[in-house]
């Protein structure tokens, strides 16, 4: 690896990272931070996992994971290799690299909420020292690293690019995807200066198989937004096509499957009850918000956002219509929601459209229950409150509900049993392809 001439601090830090003698600090031990921490521990680095949640920290130090697809044995193995978790941010001084993996949600006005990023940076600033690299992985608008992190990191007199090194490297975790692991997903890295980029490449080059260097932190920030906006726009398109096809009596899933046989020029995206996860429902609005500063109105992105946000109401409308056709009202009906995680075969509830469907059904007077093998008890969420536990599915329980709303198509569900015993199923995922009297496509 090339070194930076006349910059001994950068050279020493690169050597520590390459030789795996560095201490890696992961700030935020959630769906992004935990896999990264495990990867560095596996490679022999000393790892400190920081989190403000004392209960989570205690569980990690006891060898327990709160994330379903990360096994307790993996945490215990990492602990044995030297990983520790802590709520004490003064220990940031011990780390040679500090990687921020904290949430970047939207506020109630659908504007960027950088409070987690800013709060975390402010918490570590008093303990920064020469010879550290700080990397932001949280998805955000272009310019965040320069505008929000840089002034804070230099407030104590340390010079970024000479004594302290600043990079942006967006996370690309896909919980539950067995085809890709942390190390096999290419890593985009942008540095504030050339020495920052070199240090960033040394930081991630040991843990990730393929590094994609960028010319700036802004370019790296925009790359992450483009990836997720691409998905959001295309999902918005198929959601709108679903509504049109339904009105025309056409099965949109049959159409998409047929179009996907074209070996070029088409990528299959599938409709659903809305967008979920920590990225796709949120990230486009980071760019639309920032674009206004430049006098731009991102009409295409905002239109797809409107379509996707309207999908839970569309599903609930289908529920109401299905009940009405059976001489029942939504108010007072018993509704079972199947699957409340944001996508199949995971326990991740972030921005799940299923929860929005539940909220709308409850507001309309329905009696709500849910079944999800990955979410045994409805978790504490910032904006949603349900005192519910997952219902065990039997022919008798299925039959007792006025309607079943399929919102997340987990593989564990016995779809034949559900079909044979449900009074009516509102299917928002295209699981049931053959027309039946008790199946309503949504």
CATH number of the domain encompassing residue 89? 3.40.50.720
* 202 plus 340 within the same structural domain: no
Instruction: Categorize the per-residue pLDDT at 1 as very low, low, confident or very high, splitting at 50, 70 and 90.
Output: very low
Instruction: Categorize the per-residue pLDDT at 74 as very low, low, confident or very high, splitting at 50, 70 and 90.
Output: very high
pLDDT (mean) for 61-80: 94
* 67 plus 157 within the same structural domain: yes
32, 279, 322, 418: which is the annotated catalytic residue? Answer: 279
Is 43 within a domain?
yes
Instruction: Quote the pLDDT of residue 385.
Output: 86
pLDDT (mean) for 273-282: 82
Instruction: Quote the pLDDT of residue 7.
Output: 60
* 109 plus 202 within the same structural domain: yes
Is 226 within a domain?
no
* 202 plus 267 within the same structural domain: no
Instruction: Quote the pLDDT of residue 22.
Output: 97
Q: For the chain, what is the mean pLDDT?
A: 94
Is 1 within a domain?
no
Is 408 within a domain?
yes
* 104 plus 209 within the same structural domain: yes
Instruction: Quote the pLDDT of residue 139.
Output: 93
Q: Flag whether pLDDT at 278 surpasses 90.
A: no
Q: Is 279 a catalytic residue?
A: yes
Residues 6+ apart with CB under 8 A from 350: 31, 276, 277, 278, 342
What is the number of structural domains in the chain? 2
Instruction: Quote the pLDDT of residue 174.
Output: 81
Comparison of pLDDT for 109 and 189, the residue scoring more: 189
* 263 plus 389 within the same structural domain: yes
- The share of the chain scoring above pLDDT 90, in percent, equals 88
Instruction: Quote the pLDDT of residue 9.
Output: 96
Of 27-31, 107-111, 374-378, 412-416, the poorest mean pLDDT is in 107-111
* 276 plus 157 within the same structural domain: no
Last residue of a domain, one of 215, 239, 271: 215
- Determine the structural domain holding residue 87 and report its residue range: 8-215
* 278 plus 182 within the same structural domain: no
Instruction: Categorize the per-residue pLDDT at 111 as very low, low, confident or very high, splitting at 50, 70 and 90.
Output: confident
Is 158 within a domain?
yes
* 398 plus 295 within the same structural domain: yes
Is 2 within a domain?
no
Is 237 within a domain?
no
* 178 plus 276 within the same structural domain: no
Last residue of a domain, one of 215, 238, 273: 215
* 170 plus 288 within the same structural domain: no
Contact 390, 376 (CB under 8 A): yes
Is 302 within a domain?
yes
pLDDT (mean) for 196-219: 97
pLDDT (mean) for 129-151: 97
pLDDT (mean) for 11-17: 96
């Amino acid at each position: 690896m090339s070194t930076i001439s006349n910059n001994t601090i950068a050279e020493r830090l690169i050597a520590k990272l390459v030789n795996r003698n560095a201490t890696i600090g992961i700030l935020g031990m959630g769906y992004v931070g935990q896999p990264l921490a495990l990867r560095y521990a596996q490679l022999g680095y000393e790892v400190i996992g920081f989190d403000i949640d004392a209960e989570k920290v205690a569980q990690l130090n006891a060898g327990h994971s709160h994330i379903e697809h990360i096994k307790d044995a993996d945490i215990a193995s990492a602990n044995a290799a030297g990983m520790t978790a802590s709520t004490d941010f003064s220990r940031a001084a011990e780390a040679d690299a500090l990687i921020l993996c904290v949430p970047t949600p939207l506020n109630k006005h659908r504007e960027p909420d950088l409070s987690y990023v800013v709060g975390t940076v402010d918490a570590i600033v008093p303990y920064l020292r020469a010879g550290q690299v700080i990397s932001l992985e949280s998805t955000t608008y272009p310019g965040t690293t320069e505008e929000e992190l840089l002034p804070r990191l230099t407030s104590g007199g340390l010079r970024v690019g000479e004594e302290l090194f600043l990079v942006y490297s967006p996370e690309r975790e896909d919980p539950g995807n067995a085809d890709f692991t942390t190390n096999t997903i290419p890593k985009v890295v942008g540095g504030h200066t050339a020495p920052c980029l070199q240090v960033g490449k040394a930081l991630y080059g040991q843990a990730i198989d393929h590094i994609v260097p960028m010319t700036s932190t802004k370019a790296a920030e925009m790359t992450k937004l483009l990836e997720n906006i691409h998905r959001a726009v295309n999902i918005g398109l198929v959601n709108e096509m679903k509504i049109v096809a339904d009105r025309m009596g056409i099965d949109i899933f049959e159409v998409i499957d047929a179009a996907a046989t074209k070996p070029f020029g088409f990528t299959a995206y599938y409709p659903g009850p809305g967008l979920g996860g920590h990225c796709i429902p949120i990230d486009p609005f980071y760019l639309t918000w920032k674009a206004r500063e430049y006098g731009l109105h991102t009409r295409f992105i905002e239109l797809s956002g409107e379509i996707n946000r309207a999908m839970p109401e569309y599903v609930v409308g289908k529920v109401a219509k299905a009940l009405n056709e059976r001489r029942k009202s939504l108010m007072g009906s018993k509704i079972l929601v199947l699957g409340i995680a944001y996508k199949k075969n995971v326990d991740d509830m972030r921005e799940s459209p299923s929860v929005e469907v539940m909220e709308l059904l409850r507001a309309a007077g329905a009696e709500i229950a849910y079944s999800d093998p990955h979410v045994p008890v409805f978790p504490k969420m910032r904006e949603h409150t349900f005192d519910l536990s997952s219902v065990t599915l039997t022919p008798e329980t299925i039959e007792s509900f006025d309607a079943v709303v399929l919102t997340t198509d987990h593989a564990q569900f016995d779809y034949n049993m559900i079909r044979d015993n449900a009074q009516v199923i509102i299917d928002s995922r295209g699981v049931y392809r053959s027309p039946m009297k008790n199946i309503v496509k949504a």
